[in-house]
Structures are given as structure tokens and as C-alpha cells.
């Protein structure tokens, strides 16, 4: 773990990290998050086979998450633009009121794809919220976190 902020120069000004000297390696990341929609919404979704007025809640949220991951550098100011090799989003109803969203990303690059995985989960979660908010505003997005990353200087796995 670094003992300094990589996105700040010696005077404390924001900067983009220079990755030009880093080796191109296979980088992967997995992030997850949860959306609690409540038992009433989940029951209605299951009865409707997860389809709402705008279409399939899970399919549209999955596509939105992939689109979000691909646009991470446009959303997070100092992220390097990456052409993702892979972005998979899985959305599973895990109990009577919640979804688990998992985003797996990979790229051959000089920098990692953690932010892309986290953005994918975030956008998918926000899309579930958007598609269900007419039924209730009492929806909670929670625990968006990096689960693992591989490649580059160090690997990480949440236990």
C-alpha cells in the first residue's frame, strides 16, 4: 500500500498519474453492490418476471452497467480511458427484497480496471433504482466495494 496519494503532486494539486513507463499486463477487477428494493417491489418484479413499464429491470440494468463501465474515464476526472476487453454484469435476486450486482472487468493495459468495475456496479444499481422508484422511494443502494483485483503492482482480494 502506498503512503501517499497518487493523484496529488508535491504541492497537493490534482494530477493524472503518468502510467507511460508501466508494463502492459492483464488487469482484472471484480466489484459488487446490493440494492434493497423491499419485499413488495421484489414480489411484484418476480410476478412480472422482472419486467416493468420500461422493459426487463435486470436486462436494462445490466446493459446500463456495462455502458457506465465503458464511460468511467468520462465520469471520474483523473481516470485513464480504457478500452475494456471484457465487462460482465450479473444481477441476482438474493432474497425476498434484495439484488446482488457483480461486475467483472478485464483489460490488457498499463493501469487497472477497479474504477470500471465499481462504476459498472454503481450504474447498474442506479438503473434498478430508476426503474423501481415509481413503486417506492424506500430503495437502498449499499455496500458497493471492490472484491478483487489482479495484475499490475499488487493484487487484492477482500476476505
The pLDDT of residue 60 is 97
The answer to whether 143 is a known catalytic residue is no
Q: Which residue has the cell 504541492?
A: 11
> Model-level pTM?
0.90
pLDDT band at 63 (very low <50, low <70, confident <90, very high): very high
The pLDDT of residue 3 is 63
Please say whether the beta carbons of 120 and 105 come within 8 A: yes
Q: What percentage of the chain exceeds 70 in pLDDT?
A: 98
- Asked if the structure places residue 9 within a domain, the reply is no
- Of 9, 130, 138, 155, the catalytic one is 130
Please say whether the beta carbons of 13 and 130 come within 8 A: no
- Asked if the structure places residue 44 within a domain, the reply is yes
> Of 37-46, 50-59, 74-83, 103-112, which range is least confident?
50-59
Mean model confidence pLDDT for the chain: 91
**What domain range includes position 47?**
25-152
Q: CB within 8 A of 141, min separation 6: which ones?
A: 33, 34, 35, 122, 125, 126, 129
- Asked if the structure places residue 5 within a domain, the reply is no
The pLDDT of residue 154 is 87
Q: What is the CATH number of the domain that holds 108?
A: 3.30.70.640
Into how many domains does the chain fold?
A: 1
CB atoms within 10 A of CB 93: 16
Asked if the model's pLDDT at residue 4 lies above 90, the reply is no
- Asked if the structure places residue 136 within a domain, the reply is yes
Gap between the Cα atoms of 159 and 12, Å rounded: 33
What's the pLDDT tens digit per position in 130-153? 999 998 989 999 999 999 999 988
Gap between the Cα atoms of 132 and 36, Å rounded: 11
The pLDDT of residue 16 is 77
CA atoms within 13 A on the CB side of 124: 35
Amino acid at each position: 500500500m502506498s503512503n501517499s496519494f497518487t493523484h496529488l503532486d508535491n504541492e497537493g494539486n490534482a494530477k493524472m498519474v503518468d502510467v507511460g513507463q508501466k508494463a502492459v499486463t492483464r488487469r482484472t477487477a471484480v466489484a459488487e453492490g446490493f440494492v434493497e428494493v423491499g419485499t413488495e417491489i421484489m414480489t411484484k418484479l418476480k410476478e412480472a418476471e422482472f419486467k416493468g413499464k420500461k422493459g426487463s429491470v435486470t436486462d436494462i440494468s445490466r446493459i446500463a452497467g456495462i455502458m457506465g463501465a465503458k464511460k468511467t474515464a468520462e465520469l471520474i476526472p483523473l481516470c485513464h480511458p480504457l478500452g475494456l476487453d471484457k465487462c460482465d454484469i450479473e444481477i441476482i435476486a438474493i432474497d425476498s427484497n434484495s439484488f446482488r450486482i457483480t461486475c467483472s472487468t478485464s483489460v490488457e493495459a498499463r493501469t487497472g480496471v477497479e474504477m470500471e468495475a465499481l462504476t459498472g456496479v454503481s450504474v447498474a444499481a442506479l438503473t434498478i433504482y430508476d426503474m423501481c422508484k415509481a413503486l417506492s422511494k424506500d430503495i437502498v443502494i449499499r455496500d458497493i466495494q471492490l472484491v478483487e483485483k489482479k495484475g499490475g503492482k499488487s493484487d487484492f482480494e477482500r476476505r
